[in-house]
Chain A
Amino acid sequence: MEKVLLKKALPQWVKKLESYTIYSPQEEGDFWNYEVIKNAEIIDLDYLNTVLSPKKIIFPQREVLFEFSTSNEDELKVKEILPEERPAVIFGVRPCDGKALTLTDKVFGGDFKDPYYWKRRNSTTLVGLTCNTPPSSNCFCLSVDGSPHSKEGLDILMTDLGDKYYAESFTKKGDELLNSAKALFKSPTAKDKKDLEKIKAESKKKIKRQIKATEKIPAKLKDMFASPFWDDESLSCIRCGICTYLCPTCHCFDMNDEVTSSSPIKGERVRTWDNCQFPDFTMHSSGHNPRPDKASRLRQRILHKFQYFVELYKNYQCIGCGRCISKCPVGIDIIEVLEKARDYGS
Chain B
Amino acid sequence: MDHNTYIPKLAKIIEIKEEVGGARPIKTFRTQFLNVNDFSFRSGQCAMLSVFGRGESMISISSSPLMKDYLQFSILKMGRVTSSLHEMQVGDVIGIRGPYGNSFPVEDWKGKNIIFIGGGIGLAPIWSVLNTALGKKGDYRDLMLIYGARTSKDLVFKEELEELKKKMPVHLSIDVEEPEWKEFVGFVPQNVTDKNPSPKNAIAVTCGPPIMIKFVIKALEELGFKDEQIYTTVENKMKCGIGKCGRCNIGFHYVCKDGPVYSWAELKKLPQEY
Contacts and interface: CB of A to CB of B under 8 A. Distances in A.
Direct contact of A and B (CB under 8 A): yes
Interface of A: 65-66, 68, 76, 78, 80, 82, 107-108, 110-116, 118-119, 225-226, 251-257, 259, 262, 265, 267, 269, 274, 276, 281-286, 288, 290-291, 296, 300, 303-304, 307-309, 311-312
Contact of A115 (B2, B248, B249): B2
Contacts of A262: 53
Contacts of A254: 239, 245
Of listed B1, B4, B8, residue having the most chain A CB within 10 A: B4
B4 A80 contact: yes
Contact of A290 (B8, B78, B82, B236): B236
Of listed A76, A112, A274, A283, residue having the most chain B CB within 10 A: A112
Interface string B158-177: 00000000000000000000
A257 B237 contact: no
Interface of B: 1-2, 4-8, 10, 50, 52-56, 78-80, 82, 93, 95, 210, 235-237, 239-240, 242-249, 251-252, 257, 271-274
Contacts of A269: 6, 50
A265 to B, nearest CB: 5
Contact of A265 (B52, B236, B257): B52
B8 A78 contact: yes
A252 B53 contact: no
Which 9 pairs show the lowest CB-CB distances between chains A and B? A285-B79, A252-B246, A308-B252, A112-B242, A311-B252, A68-B52, A113-B2, A285-B78, A225-B271
Contacts of A312: 252
Contact of A78 (B10, B244, B273): B10
B131 to A, nearest CB: 27
30 contacts: A66-B7, A68-B53, A76-B52, A80-B7, A82-B1, A112-B243, A113-B2, A114-B244, A115-B2, A118-B1, A226-B272, A253-B244, A253-B245, A253-B246, A254-B245, A255-B56, A255-B245, A257-B55, A269-B6, A281-B237, A282-B237, A284-B235, A284-B237, A285-B79, A285-B80, A288-B210, A296-B273, A308-B249, A308-B252, A309-B252
A119 B1 contact: yes
Given A115-B1, A286-B78, A255 B240 contact: yes
Nearest to B82: A285
B243 A252 contact: no
Contacts of A265: 52-53
A61 B206 CA distance: 40
B7 A78 contact: yes
Contacts of B243: 110-112
Contacts of A118: 1
B210 to A, nearest CB: 8
A286 B79 CA distance: 8
A122 to B, nearest CB: 9
Of listed B50, B235, B245, residue having the most chain A CB within 10 A: B245
Task: State the main secondary structure of chain B at its contact with A.
Answer: loop
Contacts of A300: 249
A335 to B, nearest CB: 23
A119 B82 CA distance: 33
Given A265-B53, A312-B252, A252 B247 contact: yes
B50 to A, nearest CB: 8
A114 B54 CA distance: 23
A221 to B, nearest CB: 11
Nearest to B10: A76
Nearest to B234: A290
Contacts of A68: 52-53
A290 B6 contact: no
B247 A255 contact: no
A307 B249 CA distance: 13
Given A282-B247, A311-B252, A65 B236 contact: no
A311 B251 CA distance: 9
B79 A78 contact: no
B4 A115 contact: yes
Contacts of B55: 255-257
Nearest to A265: B53
Nearest to B54: A257
A276 B246 CA distance: 8
B251 A308 contact: yes
Given A76-B93, A112-B243, 16 more contacts: A78-B8, A78-B52, A119-B1, A251-B246, A253-B246, A254-B245, A256-B55, A257-B52, A267-B53, A274-B246, A276-B246, A276-B247, A285-B80, A286-B78, A308-B251, A311-B251
Contact of B244 (A112, A115, A283): A112
A240 to B, nearest CB: 17
A274 B247 contact: yes
Nearest to A118: B1
A254 B246 CA distance: 9
A31 B178 CA distance: 70
Of listed B5, B8, B244, B246, residue having the most chain A CB within 10 A: B246
Contacts of A274: 239, 245-247
A281 B237 CA distance: 8
Contacts of A107: 244
A80 B55 CA distance: 16
